[in-house]
Amino acid sequence: LIAASQSATTESDGSNAMAIDDLRNHRLLSAGTATCSQFSADLISTVGIDAQAAQTRLDSRQILVRRLQDEYANQAGVSLDEEALELMRYEQAYMAASRLMNTALEMMDAILQLA
C-alpha cells in the first residue's frame, strides 16, 4: 500500500498523494518538454497518424494490384469471339483445300480416262 504521509511517525497528512498529483504537471518526458498527459496524447496521436498513413498506403497498393491483374487478364486472356472467328477462318481454309484436292483428283481421273 502507499503511505499517506512521508514518514511513519507523522499523521496522515496526504503529502504523498499531493506529491503524486504534483507529478502530473511536471515536464518529465521528451527531454523535459512534456508532461505525462501531453506525452501520452502525443504518442496516441502519432500512432493514429501512422496507422492512417499505413491504411492509405495499403489501399493504394490494393488498387494498383487490381489494375495490374486486370491489365494482365486483358493481355493474356482469351477472347471467345476472337477464337470463334479464327475457327471459322480455319474451317474456310480447310474447305478450300478440300475443293482443290477434289478438283485435282477429278483432273487426274479425266487424264487417266483419256489414256
**Annotated domain spans of the chain:** 80-115
30-66 pLDDT, tens per residue?
677 888 888 888 999 999 999 999 999 999 999 999 9
Contacts of 81 (CB under 8 A, 6+ apart): none
> What is the per-residue pLDDT for 49?
97
Provide the mean pLDDT of the chain: 85
Q: For residues 7 and 13, give the distance between their C-alpha atoms in angstroms, rounded to a whole number.
A: 10
Nearest-CA neighbor of 25 among 43, 5, 39, 12?
Answer: 39
**Segment among 2-16, 22-36, 43-57 with least mean pLDDT:** 2-16
Contact 46, 58 (CB under 8 A): no
Cell of 68: 495490374
pTM of the model: 0.46
Is the pLDDT score of 2 beyond 70? no
Per residue in 95-106, pLDDT (tens digit) is 999 999 999 999
User: pLDDT tens, 69-92?
Assistant: 999 888 887 788 889 999 999 999
* Spatial contact of 3 and 16, defined as CB atoms under 8 Å apart: yes
